[in-house]
Amino acid sequence: MTLRKIDDVHRLDREYDLAIIGAGPAGMAAAAEAAAAGARTILLDENPAPGGQIYRSIERNSPARRAFLGKDYWKGKDILKAFLQCDAAYLPQALVWSVEQGETDGKASVELRVSAGGKSSIVHARRVVFATGAMERPMPVRGWTLPGVMTIGAAQIALKSSGLVPDGRVVLAGSGPLLYLFADQLLQAGGNLVAVLDTTPRSNWAKALPFLPPFLVSPYLLKGLALLVKVRRSVPVFTGVGTIEVFGQDRASAIRFQAKGRTEEIDIDSAFLHQGVVPNNSLANATGCLLGWNDRQKCFQPELDTRGRSSLPAIYVAGDGGGIGGALVAEVGGRIAALAACLDLFPEKTRQIGPLLAKHEKRRRVLSRGRTFIDTLYQPAVAFRAPTDLETIACRCEEVTVGAIRDAAARNVVGPNQLKTMLRCGMGSCQGRMCTATITEILADVQQRSPDDIGTYRLRTPIKPVPLREFASLPLTPDAVQAVTGDHSDRS
Amino acid sequence: MFRRIDKATDTVAITFDGIPMRVDTEQTVSAALLGQGISTLRKSVVGDRPRAPYCLMGVCFECLVTIDGIQNRQACMTIVRDGMAISSQSGARALDEGC
Ligand SMILES: Cc1cc2nc3c(=O)[nH]c(=O)nc-3n(C[C@H](O)[C@H](O)[C@H](O)COP(=O)(O)OP(=O)(O)OC[C@H]3O[C@@H](n4cnc5c(N)ncnc54)[C@H](O)[C@@H]3O)c2cc1C
Ligand code: FES
């Protein structure tokens, strides 16, 4: 059996049992599992090759050429192999820009709108799994819009997919497991890393300590410690870093920060920022799945049952897109959601699917041990979640500052959607992806309300701009009409 | 702002703002340009300030460029092709073909 790679959006079947969106560990594992259970399965992914974030470009990379990517990266080869051998269909470079839950013959089903190669098409499926992964949390600091400043994830993508290493003097700043993982990868790849600025609040250690015991048996413990020691031996690491500011005329040339009560400044050619990852819930949001606030991870995520079922009957969510758990949990989560969907589709296969589900659920429990410790330790400092420096740009697209948002918040704006009409924040090209977390947390801070109560921007379809001629080639839905006529009336 | 750590296998010819260059195949427009030392791809729409790709994963829309005459393409999500003509976008929001 081999995967059927499709290269034209018009060659897709009209209907599948299961559509999976995203070819990271969750999506690849979900496809293999669903195909094995006999479901007619299609996997759609925006990237040109399978792998998602962690295993990006896994097909082309080899340990001989890029050993520095590390053992955890090469684990992707096994998941990839199973995916390439499964009886599913796969369309790469395909953006799913709208999903609507509907009904076929009285049963729930979904309609997906997909754009690939400059053409759009409609695909019907009886169930869909969103395996859309994570994105990096924004880290708004002064000067973060200057060329020469990118995210750590971006630098890692350049390294994994194109073998690019930043030239000149590099500083990494932020918090979270990826900070030290990438520091190590960069050093091994020959990058000139001059400093690591760790913004993890010192007080997090005391808060995380009660959760240490389960973490002691986690496979992440030794790896994490080894990385820390290794990086600290090679590069100056500043801990407890408070404020950060990047300077430069037309590009970044220096970074200033506070650590241990002192202000330091370092000349740089580039700086890479990171404050952990949050679920990429664009599709879930635009489709109307209920979202809830995860207060430990400080992010909105779709409300799911233990098997990935969302609030909408035909929609499942797996992997980091449903809640941050890391690559191994994402993979097993993909299997569980796919099997749960198959169980709903083929109740007659309960005897075959039931034991598999039980096995994977057990494995997930084992893999999730120690997560609370990691989440608590790496909970980003409030200074970067709800910044107070009034000059800092919060919405990069429309250049709306923290000051303007705090001002409006103090005048009792009800929520993010109203703020959007007032200040245009979240109205730019990124549709609010880059500022939504900051907006929610600033509103919550100023108005002393819970982020859950504040809410998040309501996203619309198409979740990314689709050329008008592609759009017009498909039958219109109410959402589509709204998108074209530009009616942005507040729905919150 | 970036350099390559390994030798290219195959290259294609592209232009950026009319300047011809040869870049590796099988990579995105953003990666190709960053590898050529080009990071500023556009000016911001409100303040007219230089901007560069930021996330490289399709989230931030800082990498919007015009490719073969079509505006507002995400350079980080588009693979280079032989003969591709890329140009930077500047300043105020242009009436685009997208929506
Ligand atoms: C930039 C970045 C770098 C990371 N690096 C590491 C690392 O080195 N090590 C580590 O352990 N963890 C890393 N992580 C954490 C990572 O989230 C998980 O380890 C893992 O990749 C999650 O797997 P997943 O299958 O849930 O999603 P992902 O691997 O993120 O895959 C999601 C896929 O869905 C696709 N997609 C999303 N929306 C759509 C749509 N609308 N239409 C079509 N396709 C869509 C994306 O293009 C992507 O290919 C990183 C996260 C980020 C954001
Ligand atoms: S660099 Fe962020 S969308 Fe392309």
Residue B27 has pLDDT above 60, yes or no: yes
3-state SS assignment for residue A363: helix
- Helix/strand/coil for A146: coil
Task: Please give the pLDDT value at position A486.
Answer: 53
- Contact in structure between A253 and A143 (CB atoms under 8 Å): no
Query: What is each CA distance from A294 to A96, A297, A298, in whole angstroms?
Result: 26, 6, 5
**Cβ contact A148–B56 (<8 Å):** no
Q: Quick one: pLDDT at residue A332?
A: 98
Report how far Cα A289 is from the mean position of its chain's Cα atoms: 17
Chain A residues with CB-CB distance to B28 below 8 A:
161-162
Residue A484 sits at the chain B interface (C-beta within 8 Å): yes
Q: Please, are residues A329 and A364 in contact by the beta-carbon 8 Å criterion? A: yes
Q: What single letter denotes the amino acid at residue A38?
A: G
User: What separation in angstroms does the CA of A356 have from each of A40, A212, A259, A310?
Assistant: 19, 31, 51, 21
User: Average pLDDT, stretch A281-299?
Assistant: 97
Average pLDDT, chain A: 94
User: Which ligand is in closest contact with the Cα of A331?
Assistant: 1
Identify which ligand lies nearest to the alpha carbon of A219: 1
Burial A109-128 (b: 16+ CB within 10 A, else e): bbbbbbbbeeebbbbbbbbb
Find the mean pLDDT for residues A277-301: 97
Q: What is the dihedral of CA A73, A79, A80, A86, to 10 degrees?
A: 180
- Percent of chain B past pLDDT 90, that is, above it, reads 79
pLDDT of residue B92: 59
Q: How far is the CA of A104 from the centre of ligand 1 (A)?
A: 32
Res. B95 pLDDT band, cuts 50 70 90: very low
CB contact under 8 A, A147 and B6: no
Instruction: Annotate A288-299 with b (16+ C-beta within 10 A) or e (fewer).
Output: bbebebbeebbb
Exposure pattern of A169-192 as b/e (b: 16+ CB <10 Å)? bbbbbbbbbbbbbbbbbbbebebe
Q: pLDDT tens, A220-258?
A: 778 888 899 999 999 999 999 999 999 999 999 999 999
Confidence (pLDDT) at A466: 87
Residue B35 with chain A: CB contacts under 8 Å: 162, 164
Dihedral-angle region of residue A399 (phi above 0 means left; psi in -120 to 50 means alpha; beta otherwise): left
A108 vs chain B: nearest CA distance in angstroms?
30
Report DSSP letters for B11-71, one per residue. Answer: EEEEEETTEEEEEESSSBHHHHHHHTT----EE-TTT--EE---SSSSSS-TTEEEETTEE
Q: How far apart are CA A126 and CA A389, in angstroms?
A: 49
pLDDT exceeds cutoff 70 at A99: yes
* Partners of residue A435 in chain B, C-beta under 8 Å: none
Handedness of CA A21, A67, A176, A333 (dihedral sign): positive
Which site among B39, B60, B68, B93 would you substitute to test the A interface, given the most A Cβ atoms closer than 10 Å to its Cβ?
Answer: B60
**Cis amide bond preceding A467, omega within 30:** no
Q: Which helix (H) or strand (E) holds A25?
A: helix A25-36
* pLDDT for res A38: 97
CB of A435 closer than 8 Å to CB of A429:
no
Other beta carbons within 10 angstroms of residue A135's beta carbon come to 25
Question: What residues in B contact A398, CB-CB < 8 Å?
Answer: 45-46
User: B78 CB under 6 A from ligand 2?
Assistant: no
Arithmetic mean of pLDDT, B67-91: 93
The pLDDT of residue A487 is above 70: no
Ligand 1, pocket-test mutation among A114, A121, A132, most atoms within 8 A of CB: A132
If you average pLDDT over residues A435-458, what whole number do you get? 97
With an 8 Å Cβ cutoff, are B35 and A429 in contact?
no
- Provide the pLDDT confidence category of residue A477 given band limits of 50, 70 and 90: low
Confidence band of A341 (pLDDT split at 50, 70, 90): very high
Q: How many CB atoms lie within 10 A of CB B13?
A: 13
Q: In this model, does residue A107 exceed pLDDT 90?
A: no
Look at residue A218 and tell me whether its pLDDT is greater than 80: no
Burial (Cβ within 10 Å: 0-12, 13-18, ≥19) of residue B26: middle
Chain-chain contact of B79 with A467 (C-beta, under 8 angstroms) = no
3-state class (DSSP) for residue A386: coil
Residues 80-109 of A with CB under 8 A from B: 93
Mean pLDDT of A436-451: 97
pLDDT at A14: 86
d(CA B20, CA B7): 20
Mutate to test the interface with A, among B61, B66, B97 (most CBs of A within 10 A): B61
Using the mean position of ligand 2's atoms as its centre, give its distance from the Cα of residue B53 in Å. 5
Tell me what pLDDT residue A41 has: 98
Q: pLDDT tens digit string along A434-443?
A: 999 999 999 9
| β-strand partners of A193 | A170
Residue whose entry in the numeric block shows the structure tokens 């999500």 = B77
For residue B69 the two structure tokens come to 């005459």
Does the CA dihedral B84-B85-B88-B91 come out positive or negative? Answer: negative
Is 60 exceeded by the pLDDT of residue B93?
A: no
Interface test with B, best of A53, A164, A185 (most B CBs within 10 A): A164
Residue B10 to residue B20: CA distance in whole angstroms: 17
pLDDT of residue A489: 44
| Ligand 1 mutation target, pool A53, A160, A178, A463, most atoms within 8 A of CB | A53
User: Tokens 């799945």 identify what position?
Assistant: A289
Q: Which of A:231-270 have CB within 8 Å of B?
A: 250-251, 269-270
pLDDT score of B48 more than 60: yes
H helix or E strand, kind and range, residue A382: helix A382-385
pLDDT over threshold 80, residue A484: no
Hey, how many other C-beta atoms are within 10 angstroms of the C-beta on A249? Answer: 8
Nearest to A17 by CA among A35, A44, A40: A40
Name the token pair of A178. Answer: 């990826």
User: The whole model's pTM is what?
Assistant: 0.95
Residue bearing the CA closest to ligand 1, atom 47: A46
User: CB-based contact (8 Å) between A53 and chain B?
Assistant: yes
C-alpha distances (whole Å) from A388 to each of A241, A246, A373, A406 are 16, 16, 28, 8
User: Quick check: A90 and A4 in contact, CB under 8 A?
Assistant: yes
pLDDT at A36 over 90: yes
The residue type found at A139 is: M
Q: What is the spatial distance between Cα A227 and Cα A213, in angstroms, rounded to a whole number?
A: 20
Cross-strand pairs, A271? A149, A171
Residues of B whose CB is below 8 A from A399: 44-47, 49
